[in-house]
Structure 1
Amino acid sequence: MASILIKAATVVNENRQFVADILVKDGLIEKIAPQIDASADTTINAEGLYLFPGAIDDQVHFREPGLTHKANIHSESRAAVAGGITSFMEMPNTVPNTLTQELLEDKYQIAAQNSLANYSFFMGASNNNLDEVLRTDVKNVCGIKVFMGSSTGNMLVDNPVTLENLFAQAPMLIATHCEDEATIQSNLAHYKQLLGDNIPVKLHPKIRSEEACYLSSSMAVELAKKHNTRLHILHISTEKETHLFDNTTPLKEKRITAEACIHHMWFTDRDYETKGNFIKWNPAVKTEHDRDGILKAVLDGHIDVIATDHAPHTLEEKEQPYLQAPSGGPLVQHALVAMLELYHHGKITLEQIVEKMAHNVAICFQIEKRGYIREGYFADLVLVDLNKPWQVNKSNILYKCGWSPFEGATFRSTVKHTIVSGNLAWSEGKFVSETSGKRMSFER
């Protein structure tokens, strides 16, 4: 494995900034010092650049197997690496759904051959696979995913007995999608009665409402408290939900944690007018009050991590009428630069971005030797030029689906180099390596 010497980078790590050289050997960070005089296979002059630990995305849908007309592990991991995400955790609503240990292992085998980023996969829960869920290897699998709201295939877990048993017996972190299905269906029936099938997308946050989210999230929190479950609630989309979480307990001691996604901190319901189905997500993008409340909760510690919920669909699928168009959109290539744009606007610090996109994800999931710039840790590193603007357009979008909700946006920051497990994978706008990702392991 090639050695890498990074010279004179401004390191952002563990709530401080400092200029240092970094020596990478055998996939690990060997030395961090003010100056390192050593030979290396590759030397990067990082003067004026900022060095972050690689972002860890705890919620992506890379669509393989079964939905590869939208995306696959190779294409989307490449886009992630180009965007500064060096590790991902992928969801089980592929085809077939990842509801057995054998199907889970199949995904690991695909990633071992094709992923440019480091990887882990969630084991899926359904109403009738508890025995399979309980066989999950806590050391080598990131967590268990429970859809407490409508989802793909046989993955809506709405049986109260099943939920009680899952929360009581789960040997590891449970990650939940929380929306109350009965509330959603009631809201949908109401608008269908008023408008028939001609429901505009601007009503998406009224159908998948604040009430639907809060009912489900509060139930998950109640179950977790009852059974002392390690619970992680994904993609919080309302200000009201943020008050369900604690910001006084140290993160390592928390049993209940929460995630915010880029789109819920960027877009509001006003954007449906111009973006339409291209910002149709579940849970829905809601009001300006919700967007601002979520960012506030990220900053004050009620929400612990930032992720993407990257979930691509084809243009043809998204261009269908509201009721037919699927929810979700691609985000991994633009997540870090979007957060850095919020930094440029004075809304978040660089240290907070690193904490929420790297350090805290590693803490929440107990990831082994990743998420920090430390000697002896895996060299997952991202060098960024904070003052090199570029515009998102069709020619530079790397997602297989070929579009982005950020098309036309100009970002002030550019990802210059990405190192994954010690391999230089992305450099100056080009891929250097195509398969350098490693399976993540967990200290449990």
Structure 2
Amino acid sequence: MNLRTTLIKNAHIVTDGKITKGDILIEGNYIKEINDSISAKSADVHVLDAEGKYVLPGAIDDQVHFREPGLTHKANIETESRAAIAGGITSFIEMPNTNPQTTTVEKLEEKFSRAAETSYANYSFMFGGTNDNLEEILKVDPKSVAGLKLFLGSSTGNMLVDDPKVLENIFKSTDMVISVHCEDEETIKKNLQEHIDKFGDDIPLKYHPVIRSEEACYLSSSTAIELAKKTGARLHIFHVSTGKETSLFSNKIPLKDKKITAEVCVHHLWFSDEDYETKGTLIKWNPAVKSKEDRDALWEALLDDRIDVIATDHAPHTIDEKNNVYTKAPSGGPLVQHALPAMLEMFHKGKIKIEKIVEKMCHNPAILFQVEKRGYVKEGYFADLVLVDLNNPWTVKKDNVLYKCGWSPFEGATFKSRITHTFLNGSLVYHNGKFTDVKAAKRLTFDR
């Protein structure tokens, strides 16, 4: 492993809500010192002049689907974590709906073993809850895993948790963060059948947010929150997609004290239902991309801290799978390479401060999941650092997309900001479009 001492000079350091000019000394895996000016103590110190560049903590993506095991024709841990590193995401938390599903401790440990062999980024996994695996949930060591994932809306296999008694038992029985996908299945089934009766399988994409409606989202989210309040469970609502749902969350207490938290995904902040006409199934996600009014309300809730985290819900499918009629085209798309550049584009447009992007993509996932010594540029923390040139435009094209599926919903978009360097646990792993082939990834640990 490449663990030489590195001195980053003249950086604009973004952390803790501030931007300061200074130097960062990296020794081994950690940030040794941050100061106005640090001198190299020996010729062995690698000096990197970051004049004009911004140094951010590596982003922590709390929701990805890397498709391994069982769905590796779409993606795998190696390919998608590599794309994440190029996109400034240095740590990921991956979901349990693989094949086989991560619903036993044995399958969870197999995933950890695979990531230890192949991942380019730091990693952890969610354990999956079902209607019949409470015994396995209780075996999980909360210090060794990111949390528990429950699908209260559609999922593959038997991962839909739709038995109210089981759900209440799970909420009562675990201290882990319970992360939930909230869409009411009965509402969606009814809406889908009405549209199939009218259009057959080739339903126009503009009806996706009508089928997977505001009502379906709100009904499920509000029910989950009611149950969390009743049981005292620690609840995190994934990928909030409607303005109506934002009323369910509070900004009255610090994040570390919140029992109920929320996440929004990049695609719900970027696209609206007007984009279905040009993007079609490429922006078919569950929950659906909804109206401009919903998007505006999500931005408002993000900026006033009712919504705590920005994530990707990175969920690749092949282009052949996507190029199907509505009922056959799977939901989900790849995002880890382009999420941070897309949010930095919103900074250029005046929608959000760079300090707030860092708060929502770096600090808050670390706080929420109690990730140990990551998510900040701080002395004593792991040196997961991303150097960004805010004025170095590039255009997303097929030939620079790194996902195994080979496409991006952002193709054709030009981003003003470019990630020039990614450090992982003190090692330079990515530099100006090239990987250094240093394997520096570590399993995330949790301060619980």
Q: TM-score, normalised by structure 1?
A: 0.99
What is the distance in 2 between the residues matched to 1:136 and 1:42? 42
Match of 2:209 among 197, 205, 210: 205
Q: How far 1:198 sits from its partner (Å)? A: 2.3
Equivalent position SS for 1:306: strand
For 1:276-315, list aligned pairs within 5 A.
276-315=280-319
For 1:403-442, list aligned pairs within 5 A.
403-442=407-446
- After superposition, give the CA deviation of every residue in 1:133-154 in whole Å (9 maximum; x if it has no partner): 1111111100000000010111
- Specify the alignment match of 1:20 in structure 2: 22
1:383 aligns with 2:387: yes
Letter in 1 for 2:49: N
- After superposition, give the CA deviation of every residue in 1:357-391 in whole Å (9 maximum; x if it has no partner): 00011110011100111100000100000000000
What is the distance in 2 between the residues matched to 1:140 and 1:198? 45
How many residues align structurally? 444
- After superposition, give the CA deviation of every residue in 1:260-303 in whole Å (9 maximum; x if it has no partner): 00000000000000000000000000000011111111100000
Letter in 1 for 2:127: M
Equivalent position SS for 2:248: coil
Match of 2:172 among 168, 171, 190: 168
What is the distance in 2 between the residues matched to 1:33 and 1:403? 42
Letter in 2 for 1:23: L
Equivalent position SS for 1:78: helix
- Specify the alignment match of 1:252 in structure 2: 256
Match of 1:145 among 145, 149, 167: 149
- Specify the alignment match of 1:192 in structure 2: 196
Judge conservation of contact 1:423–1:433 (CA < 8 Å) in 2.
Answer: no
For 1:49-198, list aligned pairs within 5 A.
49-198=53-202
- Specify the alignment match of 1:220 in structure 2: 224
Q: How far 1:171 sits from its partner (Å)? A: 2.2
Percent of aligned positions that are identical: 62
Which 5+ residue runs of structure 1 have no aligned equivalent? none
1:234 aligns with 2:242: no
Judge conservation of contact 2:427–2:438 (CA < 8 Å) in 1.
Answer: no
- Specify the alignment match of 2:5 in structure 1: 3
Q: How far 1:170 sits from its partner (Å)? A: 1.3
Match of 1:37 among 39, 48, 52: 39
Q: How far 1:434 sits from its partner (Å)? A: 4.7
Q: How far 1:41 sits from its partner (Å)? A: 4.4
Q: TM-score, normalised by structure 2?
A: 0.98
State the Cα RMSD in Å: 0.8
For 1:298-377, list aligned pairs within 5 A.
298-377=302-381
Letter in 1 for 2:148: I
Equivalent position SS for 1:189: helix
What is the distance in 2 between the residues matched to 1:34 and 1:410? 34
Which 5+ residue runs of structure 2 have no aligned equivalent? none
